[in-house]
Structure 1
Amino acid sequence: MQHTGLKLRMAFVGTILFAFYAALAGVALAMFGTGIWPIVAVGTLLFVGFQYKVGKWAALRSVGAQDMPEDQYPEIHRMVERLSDDMGIDKPTLKVAQMGVPNAFATGRRGAGVVVVSTELMQILTRDELEGVIAHELAHIRNRDVVTMVLGQSIAAMVGIAVQWVVILAGDNDFADFILGWIAGIVAQMLVMVFVLAISRYREYVADADAREHIGSGEPLARALEKIQSGSQHADQTRIDDSTAALCIFDSEKGLLRSILATHPPVEKRIERLRA
Structure 2
Amino acid sequence: MGRDTHLNRRILLTLALLLVVDLAVVATAAYLLTPWLAPLRDAVAAALPFGGLSAQVAWWLAVLLPALSLFVWGQLRYTRARTLNKVDAREVSQREYPDLSERVHRLAQLADMKPPTIAVADSAVPNSFAVGTIGSATLVVSDGLLETLSGDELDAVLAHELMHVKNRDATVMTLASFLPALTNGEHGLLDDMLPGERGSKLVVGALAVCGAYLLSARIMAAPVGSLGFTLGFVVLAGITVVLGGVLLGVFTAPVVVLSRSLSKYREYAADRSAALLTGDPAALVTALETLDSEVAVTPETDKRHAYEGVRGLCFLAGGFRTGTETDRFHVETRSHPPTADRIDRLRSVESAS
Letter paired with 2:4: H
Match of 2:265 in 1: 202
Match of 1:162 in 2: none
Give a deviation string over 1:201-248, Cα, whole Å, max 9, x none.
Answer: 211221111111111022211221222221111122262511222322
Question: Contact 2:94 / 2:101 at 8 angstroms: preserved in 1?
Answer: yes
Quote how far apart the aligned CAs of 1:153 are. Answer: 4.8
Among residues 211, 216, 221, which one is paired with 2:284 in the alignment? Answer: 221
Among residues 52, 58, 62, which one is paired with 1:35 in the alignment? Answer: 58
Residues 1:125 and 1:259: Cα distance change in structure 2 (over 3 Å): farther
Match of 1:167 in 2: none
Among residues 303, 317, 320, which one is paired with 1:251 in the alignment? Answer: 317
Residues 1:251 and 1:43: Cα distance change in structure 2 (over 3 Å): same
- What secondary structure is seen at the aligned counterpart in 1 of 2:313? coil
Match of 1:6 in 2: 7
Give a deviation string over 1:59-84, Cα, whole Å, max 9, x none.
Answer: 22222223445345433222212111
Quote how far apart the aligned CAs of 1:28 are. Answer: 8.0
Identical columns (%): 31
TM-score (structure 1 length as normaliser): 0.78
Residues 1:92 and 1:61: Cα distance change in structure 2 (over 3 Å): same
Work out which of the two has the higher radius of gyration on C-alpha atoms and give 1 or 2: 2
Structure 1: distance between partners of 2:100 and 2:262: 30
Structure 1: distance between partners of 2:180 and 2:333: 14
Match of 1:241 in 2: 307
Letter paired with 1:268: A
Letter paired with 2:309: S
Question: Contact 2:180 / 2:331 at 8 angstroms: preserved in 1?
Answer: no
Question: Contact 2:26 / 2:64 at 8 angstroms: preserved in 1?
Answer: yes
Structure 1: distance between partners of 2:119 and 2:23: 39
TM-score (structure 2 length as normaliser): 0.63
Quote how far apart the aligned CAs of 1:89 are. Answer: 1.7
Residues 1:53 and 1:23: Cα distance change in structure 2 (over 3 Å): closer
Match of 2:79 in 1: 55
- What secondary structure is seen at the aligned counterpart in 2 of 1:117? strand
Question: Contact 1:48 / 1:150 at 8 angstroms: preserved in 2?
Answer: no
Quote how far apart the aligned CAs of 1:133 are. Answer: 0.5
Which deviates more, 27-36 or 103-112? 27-36
Match of 2:162 in 1: 138
Letter paired with 1:233: A
Letter paired with 1:242: E
Residues 1:9 and 1:174: Cα distance change in structure 2 (over 3 Å): same
Give a deviation string over 1:172-196, Cα, whole Å, max 9, x none.
Answer: 9797997676445314312332112
How do residues 104-143 of structure 1 correspond to structure 2 at under 5 angstroms? 104-109=128-133, 112-143=136-167
Question: Contact 2:116 / 2:136 at 8 angstroms: preserved in 1?
Answer: yes
The answer to whether structure 1 residue 232 and structure 2 residue 300 are counterparts is: no
Match of 2:94 in 1: 70
> Could you list the runs of 5+ residues in structure 1 that have no partner in the other structure?
159-171
The answer to whether structure 1 residue 186 and structure 2 residue 249 are counterparts is: yes
Measured on the aligned residues, the alpha-carbon RMSD in Å equals: 3.6
- What secondary structure is seen at the aligned counterpart in 1 of 2:115? coil
Give a deviation string over 1:6-42, Cα, whole Å, max 9, x none.
Answer: 1343354455445545666777899974431121111
How do residues 86-97 of structure 1 correspond to structure 2 at under 5 angstroms? 86-97=110-121
Question: Contact 2:288 / 2:343 at 8 angstroms: preserved in 1?
Answer: yes
Quote how far apart the aligned CAs of 1:102 are. Answer: 0.5
How do residues 140-155 of structure 1 correspond to structure 2 at under 5 angstroms? 140-153=164-177
Question: Contact 2:132 / 2:138 at 8 angstroms: preserved in 1?
Answer: yes
Structure 1: distance between partners of 2:97 and 2:77: 28
Quote how far apart the aligned CAs of 1:151 are. Answer: 3.8
